[in-house]
């Protein structure tokens, strides 16, 4: 539906252009010129008809694609992967990597926990408490018990709602904490990842251009911390990379970084992330990285400087 809007003006423009061209052609003095002009005109109309048909088909395909991938639409915006961390820093030696999983828990969280346990690797989970994942919330307790870090992401993950105002954002976080309270000590929840990242621009249209700046300052005022990422698996994008694709995305981003904060997702739609995880861990190991949680990374960076 959205995509039809820009197409129709273009269509009209095409007709106007072609009429103008006819208008510009000289007054025909001979019959052959008239026939030639008519053939030209028919040809133009045919081309135009096919172009319009092609456009309509493309719109139809786009609409079907959008509907099919709607569950990704609000998961993470395209500029997620370009929101490079301001807070990650790259000064720590030796090489450190934080695997982070956003938007869960979900049916894919348990298999992820099993791989992490097998590989003896800690990770950080930035969790949500939406209606669709409510039944998996008890997994938050398991995540913490297995030595991983549970951190805040959002209750609803709806940009239009949470980025309406700072009040709306903190109300959402309050809802999230209330939903998590039965499973984890709230005192341990001091880390936050903003949906879309701290440099997202989608929030500007709802809460103005300074909303992220305000939210970051308010997070710090609460004595909490926020973190983005500097390596992205792109596993929740509409491109749907397979396990090999996710690994390649990570390898490309991680090149030359001594500290990696890797963005992955444990939603029900990211089964390929589970498939990719053993290879991802294996690759970071081969490259000489040590795994840690976000909290541990911050501690190491503070003590290491």
By CB under 5 A, name the binding residues for Zn ion. 76, 102-103, 195
Nearer to Zn ion by C-beta: 92 or 192?
192
> Taking CB positions, which residue lies at the least distance from Zn ion?
102
Shortest reach from residue 39's CB to Zn ion, in Å? 57
Nearer to Zn ion by C-beta: 130 or 164?
130
Nearer to Zn ion by C-beta: 169 or 289?
169
Nearer to Zn ion by C-beta: 52 or 84?
84
133: number of CA atoms within 13 Å, CB side?
A: 29
Cα–Cα distance measured from residue 128 to residue 240, given in angstroms and rounded to the nearest whole number: 21
Shortest reach from residue 127's CB to Zn ion, in Å? 10
Backbone angles phi, psi at 125, to 5 degrees: -115, 115
Q: Are 100 and 124 in contact (CB under 8 A)?
A: yes
Task: Establish whether the linkage from the previous residue to 219 is cis, with ω within 30° of 0.
Answer: no
DSSP tag of 28: P
Cα–Cα distance measured from residue 91 to residue 88, given in angstroms and rounded to the nearest whole number: 9
Shortest reach from residue 233's CB to Zn ion, in Å? 13
* CA distances, 254 to each of 192, 258, 263 (Å): 22, 8, 11
DSSP tag of 155: S
Shortest reach from residue 67's CB to Zn ion, in Å? 21
Nearer to Zn ion by C-beta: 76 or 172?
76
Shortest reach from residue 11's CB to Zn ion, in Å? 38
């Amino acid at each position: 539906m959205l995509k039809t809007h820009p197409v129709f003006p273009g269509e009209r423009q095409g007709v106007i252009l072609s009429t103008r061209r006819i208008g510009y052609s000289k007054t025909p003095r001979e019959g052959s010129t008239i026939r030639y002009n008519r053939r030209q005109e028919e040809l133009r109309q045919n081309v135009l008809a096919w172009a319009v048909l092609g456009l309509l088909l493309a719109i139809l395909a786009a609409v079907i694609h959008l509907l099919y991938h709607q569950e990704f639409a609000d998961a993470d915006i395209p500029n997620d992967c370009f929101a490079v961390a301001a807070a990650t820093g790259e000064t720590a030696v030796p090489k450190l990597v934080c695997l982070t999983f956003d938007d869960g828990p979900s049916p894919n969280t348990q298999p992820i926990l099993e791989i992490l346990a097998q590989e003896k690797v800690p990770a950080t989970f930035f969790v949500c408490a939406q209606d669709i994942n409510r039944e998996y919330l008890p997994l938050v307790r398991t995540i913490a018990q297995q030595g991983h870090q549970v951190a805040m992401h959002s209750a609803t993950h709806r940009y239009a709602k949470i980025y309406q105002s700072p009040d709306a954002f903190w109300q959402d976080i309050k809802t999230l904490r209330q939903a998590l309270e039965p499973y984890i000590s709230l005192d341990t929840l001091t880390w936050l990842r903003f949906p879309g990242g701290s440099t997202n621009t989608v929030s500007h249209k709802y809460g103005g251009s300074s909303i992220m700046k305000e939210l970051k300052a308010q997070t710090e005022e609460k004595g909490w911390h926020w973190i983005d990422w500097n390596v992205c698996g792109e596993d929740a994008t509409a491109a749907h990379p397979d396990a090999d694709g996710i690994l390649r995305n990570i390898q490309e981003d991680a090149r030359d970084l001594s500290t990696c904060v890797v963005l992955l997702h444990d939603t029900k739609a990211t089964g390929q992330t589970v498939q990719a995880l053993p290879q991802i861990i294996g690759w970071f190991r081969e490259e000489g990285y040590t795994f840690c949680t976000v909290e541990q990374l911050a501690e190491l960076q503070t003590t290491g400087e």
